[in-house]
Amino acid sequence: MTLVLDSSALFSMENLPEEDSVCPPGVVRELTKYKDPRLELWGDMLRTSDCSSEAMKKVEEAARKTGDLGRLSPVDMSVIALALDVDGTVLSDDFSILNVCTVMGIPNRSVGTKGIKKVEKWNYQCIGCKKWYKERSNECPICGSPMKSFRKK
């Protein structure tokens, strides 16, 4: 089994999983952008692969149907598309990613959370300064760290 990792998975992991894992190049670019120190540690162990445009189209279609399209970045969608291409399992803490995977029948697993059965409402927390937001943006307006999605309690 191949694990396909997204940025939220990598941000919440101490070590790379022992299973064969791969991520789209965009995920590595995000880690590089936030100068994540683990990138240096993991270096070449982090395998990257591009997804096909056919898979990307299918993911877009599915995300539009579930209403997750606005919550998914192109990088997020490339994670799901790559899983489709390599027949892998998505490892992510992003509820929209997990939701679209479930709808598309792609095996998925969350890292720090217990995963989802049903998605209702959304909340976003900056992984840097821990501030909560109603709307997702690519970076926290306060400290510039990436945001993580949570289900509203």
Here the tokens at position 73 are 């970045």
Of 40-48, 78-86, 116-124, 132-140: span binding Zn ion (CB under 5 A): 132-140
Kindly write out the interface string for residues 84-123 of this chain, putting x where it contacts Zn ion by CB under 5 A and - elsewhere: ----------------------------------------
Here the tokens at position 126 are 């900056």
Q: Does 140 bind Zn ion (CB under 5 A)?
A: yes
Is 5 in a helix, a strand, or coil? strand
Q: Does 55 bind Zn ion (CB under 5 A)?
A: no
Of 13-21, 42-50, 92-100, 143-151: span binding Zn ion (CB under 5 A): 143-151
Return the number of the residue (67 or 144) whose C-beta is nearest Zn ion: 144
The CA distances from residue 130 to 54, 62, 65, in Å, are: 37, 31, 31
Return the number of the residue (105 or 141) whose C-beta is nearest Zn ion: 141
User: How many residues interact with Zn ion (rule CB under 5 A)?
Assistant: 7
Q: How far is the CB of 90 from Zn ion (least distance, A)?
A: 26
Handedness of CA 132, 137, 139, 145 (dihedral sign): positive
Q: Among 23, 55, 72, 126, which residue sits at the site for Zn ion (rule: CB under 5 A)?
A: 126
Q: Which helix (H) or strand (E) holds 89?
A: strand 89-91
Contacts of 30 (CB under 8 A, 6+ apart): 7, 75, 146
The CA distances from residue 107 to 26, 49, 111, in Å, are: 21, 18, 14
Q: Among 54, 67, 74, 142, which residue sits at the site for Zn ion (rule: CB under 5 A)?
A: 142
Chain positions contacting Zn ion, by CB under 5 A:
126, 128-129, 140, 142-143, 145
